[in-house]
Chain A
Amino acid sequence: MSDIPQELKYTASHEWVRIEDDGTLTVGITEHAQALLGDMVFVELPDVGDDFEAEQDCAVLESVKAASDIYCPIEGQIVAVNEELEDAPEQINVNAYHEGWIFRIQPVNADHIDELMGPDEYAELVESESH
């Protein structure tokens, strides 16, 4: 079973979301997703200031195997991106939940955070997809 931290929120497209003290959301991909994608070799980040709708593709991760879109978990504006990934995309493989964070977003409406999955629901999703 993959590592699914209890304090995070999740999406059906395998992003994790951490609610920061300032109300922004940090986003990355889950341990389960990084294991499926394999060795990361390139990350295309959004620009700070870009606006995205919920579920809009906003970044691209390329592993040695394939390219995958990353979807914005919530409507909002990008306030920070993890530029270190440009030179070290493998940080996503090494530590998907910390050094492997991808971007931070200021949500338009914080109420929408409740629509994200909790850890138990996400664990069920991972379980159902592996059978």
Chain B
Amino acid sequence: MTTKQTTLKETPLIKAHQTMGAKLVNFGGWNMPIHYASQIDEHHQVRSDAGMFDVCHMAIVDLRGCEVIAYLAKLLANDVAKIADKPGKALYSCMLNNSGGVIDDLIIYSMEPAWVRVIVNSSTREKDIAWMRTQIGTMPVDLNERDDLAMIAVQGPNARNLATQALGDEIAGADELKPFNALLINAGADNERFVARTGYTGEDGYEIVCANDQAESMWNLLADAAVKPCGLGARDTLRLEAGMNLYGNDMDETQSPLESGLSWTVDFSNEQRQFNGREALEKQKEQGLKYKFVGLILKGKGVLRAHQKVLLEGAADGSKEGELTSGSFSPTMQQAIGFARVPLETGDTCLVEIRKKQLAAQVVKLPFVRQGKVLVE
């Protein structure tokens, strides 16, 4: 239980977390709240009302230039054409290497015709930026890491209402946003706000970006409006229930998005669009996929965890196995749930090896929970 103390990076909200009694942990080099009190209560808070998360550790990158769409068309597996010239639209995509492995997953937002904002994971920030710069080459695309910006996610069925109550004119117009759309308010001014109707919980809500020095006051205004601070622990069980992948667990550079439950984000439709990794993925499809990515529900007691082995019932020794990529206890379902990469022939049930015991699990389609409702039987 001891952790070696290193110099951890801090977000502009560190003082607010300490004041609010957060349990802080080293989260990929950042000193971040894992929970304030009960992680399970924080989870329920987001499913039933409204909670907020410090997500300032994520990296906001602005890409500008007349060739930015052409650049992203090659960089990303999803097709940027879906949002090009549609300011306010957002798109989720994987960024692949040339062998079709996933460098990171990210969300891009169309800001202006020659301006796209990209939000990437904190843990992959350096390699992402390095790769993105290499890919720019001589193209007239300018890459700007926005270390001056902070981001707070406000999530839950009442999140948007409470955010409007708390922040009023600061986020004027946000209440009109459709899901997966965003809005830039007071562009270029000190009180600029970028509000996106996106998140990582399976609930409605906003992700709100402001200048670092205004983040604490925004956090406190939200807290005053009864939006409860929630830690990254609850964020993980929420995204797990919502069937949302976590980079590094559910996919990485050695895994194909096609075997990571991310086929829906890889857009092959424009045959002219030679995105990075396309050739490798087409070859993989041609040869036939070997694994599928599914949800698992443990039938009895116990907890599913990443890296547990998945065995097919009645399979001979030495036959193909699967593996849990994420797992935990679902506070909404009161059962252990997880994601697994399993052999294509896996049926409706399988066995999971937990501490040398083989326990039965149900194989389901993801997600488990969306907008407060359990979607699996």
Contacts and interface: CB of A to CB of B under 8 A. Distances in A.
Interface of A: 14, 33, 35-36, 38-39, 41-42, 44, 60, 62, 64-67, 86, 93, 129, 131
A60 B331 CA distance: 20
Given A36-B1, A39-B39, A65 B303 contact: no
A37 B35 CA distance: 11
B305 interface: yes
Given A42-B301, A42-B329, A62-B303, A129 B38 contact: no
Interface string B280-303: 000000000000000000000111
B2 A65 contact: no
B271 to A, nearest CB: 46
Contact of B233 (A35, A38, A42, A86): A38
Contacts of A62: 302-303, 329
A35 B305 CA distance: 21
Contacts of B212: none
Contacts of B237: 64
A122 to B, nearest CB: 13
28 contacts: A14-B1, A33-B1, A36-B1, A38-B35, A38-B38, A38-B39, A39-B38, A39-B39, A41-B303, A41-B336, A42-B302, A42-B303, A42-B329, A60-B355, A62-B303, A64-B39, A64-B40, A64-B233, A64-B237, A64-B329, A64-B331, A65-B233, A66-B305, A67-B303, A67-B305, A93-B38, A129-B1, A129-B2
A62 to B, nearest CB: 4
B55 interface: no
Nearest to B357: A44
A3 B318 CA distance: 50
Contacts of B38: 38-39, 93
A59 to B, nearest CB: 11
Nearest to B334: A41
Contacts, number: 46
B296 to A, nearest CB: 16
Contacts of A67: 303, 305
B34 interface: yes
B160 to A, nearest CB: 27
Given A39-B40, A65-B233, A67-B305, 14 more contacts: A33-B1, A38-B35, A38-B39, A38-B233, A39-B39, A42-B301, A44-B302, A44-B355, A62-B303, A64-B233, A64-B328, A64-B329, A86-B301, A129-B2
A65 B232 CA distance: 11
A66 B236 CA distance: 12
